[in-house]
Amino acid sequence: MKRYKVFRREDAKKKLFSKLSPVPVTELPAGERTDLLVELSQTATSQIVHVPVVVARGTKAGPVLGISAAIHGNELNGVRIIHSLLNGVELDKLSGALLCVPVVNVPGFNAGARRFIDGVDLNHAFPGKKEGKPSEQYARAFLNMFLPACDYLIDIHTASQGNINSMYIRADLMSDVVRHLAQLMNPDIILHIKGGDGTIRHAARKRKIPAITVEAGNPSMFQGRMVFDGELGIRNIMTDLDMYPG
Ligand SMILES: [Zn+2]
């Protein structure tokens, strides 16, 4: 009987459509890694979509560095960069916290697809809409859960299908802080782009959260060199922000 779960529409609605508050980073245990599965949205057939969120909190106070990957579901290098970083960081040496979302576009990732399940590019759907398309509702819920908890944002991508990328950064170079973050990644190329409408970087900029987009290599594959360089760049940023010894 365990496998037959009674579904109560009203309960589900109450739970999911109450306003999703930001990840309570400072309420989680210091000096520990906490793995969360956040109930972010619901499919058309009422399955709950969980988004994996990892909070690695240091023992000392400091900024919260947000790191997101796979807003495009076929972009894998960022997933590996986040895992590699989390596996290597010693939390007793960390000040502040890493707030990591290895896979933002969970439905796309599970389908091996770049776009969201409604065919929309999720990185054109921010800040989202309450009564919008599935992608817009998802984007809105994600933004409310993630962005207000971040002091800085690194959003990791790769090239789109059929394209080949080096390691390059998209950033608003008119901001001194953002330009510095971009340089610390030590990429091959830095591209000055304010951040088009609908991107998570644009949403961050509107909230005055310094943010860069990292384009790390090619889609649909894991590339060791990109993972190595990406992690090194993020460690440079952590050192510069006095979060971690360099
Ligand atoms: Zn992308």
pLDDT tens by residue, 24-83 = 999 999 999 999 999 998 888 888 899 999 999 999 999 999 999 999 999 999 999 999
179 CA distance to ligand 1 middle (Å) = 20
pLDDT value for 161: 76
Residue predicted with more confidence, 148 or 4: 148
71 CA distance to ligand 1 middle (Å) = 6
Which residue in 59, 55, 160 sits closest to 99, CA to CA?
55
92 CA distance to ligand 1 middle (Å) = 33
88 CA distance to ligand 1 middle (Å) = 25
Q: Is pLDDT at 155 greater than 50 in this prediction?
A: yes
Which residue in 169, 154, 157 sits closest to 209, CA to CA?
154
144 CA distance to ligand 1 middle (Å) = 20
Instruction: Please give the class, per CATH, of domain 30-240.
Output: alpha beta
What are the tens digits of pLDDT across the range 187-226? Answer: 999 999 987 789 999 999 999 999 999 999 999 999 999 9
The model's pTM is: 0.94
In this prediction, what percent of the chain has a pLDDT beyond 70?
94
Report yes or no: 8 and 15 within 8 Å, Cβ to Cβ.
no
107 CA distance to ligand 1 middle (Å) = 15
Report yes or no: 150 and 62 within 8 Å, Cβ to Cβ.
no
In this prediction, what percent of the chain has a pLDDT beyond 90?
82
Name the burial class of residue 170, with classes exposed (0-12), middle (13-18) and buried (19+) by CB atoms within 10 angstroms of its CB: buried
Query: Rounded to whole angstroms, how far apart are CA atoms 206 and 242?
Result: 25
List the end-to-end C-alpha distance of the chain, in Å, as a whole number.
55
CA count, 13 A, side-chain hemisphere, 178: 27
75 CA distance to ligand 1 middle (Å) = 6
Query: Rounded to whole angstroms, how far apart are CA atoms 18 and 30?
Result: 28
Question: Band of the pLDDT at 13, cuts 50, 70, 90?
Answer: low
